[in-house]
Structure 1
Amino acid sequence: MRILYLLFPLLLLLVHSAAGSSLGPTNRKQCQKAKGSCSLLNCSFPYVIVGKCSRFYFCCKSVWG
C-alpha cells in the first residue's frame, strides 16, 4: 500500500506522454493534408512546427492560418 502513491504519478506520466504522441502530422502526406509544408530541421519565422514529415524534416504551418 505504501508504493501506491508512487505508482499513481508514474501511471499519469505514461498516459500523458502517450496522449501527446499522435497530435500532429507524422508523414508528408498528412502534413500536406493539414495545409502545411515540410522543411529541413526548422521553420522560418511566420511558420511553426506542428508535426514531423520524416526524421529530419518537420511539418511547418503558418502562425496566421
Structure 2
Amino acid sequence: MKILFLLFPLILLLVQGAAGSSLAPTNKEQCEKEQGYCGFLKCSGPFLVVGKCSRFFFCCKP
C-alpha cells in the first residue's frame, strides 16, 4: 500500500513531461513554419530558444 504513494507522483511526472514535449518545434520545417530560424548552439539578440532543429541547431523566435 505504501508503494502507491510513491508510484502516483511518478506517473504524474511522466504524464506531465509527455504532454509538453510535442509543443515545441522538433525540426527545421516546423521552426520556419512558426516564423522562427535555426541558430547554431544559441540564439542571438532578443531571440529565445523555443525548440530544436537538429542536434546542434536550436529554433529561435522573438
TM-score for both structures, normalised by structure 2: 0.94
RMSD: 0.7
Work out the number of aligned pairs and report it.
62
Q: How is 1:1-65 mapped onto 2 (pairs within 5 angstroms)? A: 1-62=1-62
Identity %: 66
CA distance in 1, matches of 2:35, 2:19: 23
Range 12-21 or range 35-44, more displaced:
12-21
> 1:19, CA displacement in angstroms?
1.1
CA distance in 2, matches of 1:32, 1:45: 18
Q: Which consecutive aligned stretches of 4+ in structure 1 deviate over 2 angstroms post-superposition?
A: none
**Long gaps (5+) in structure 2:** none
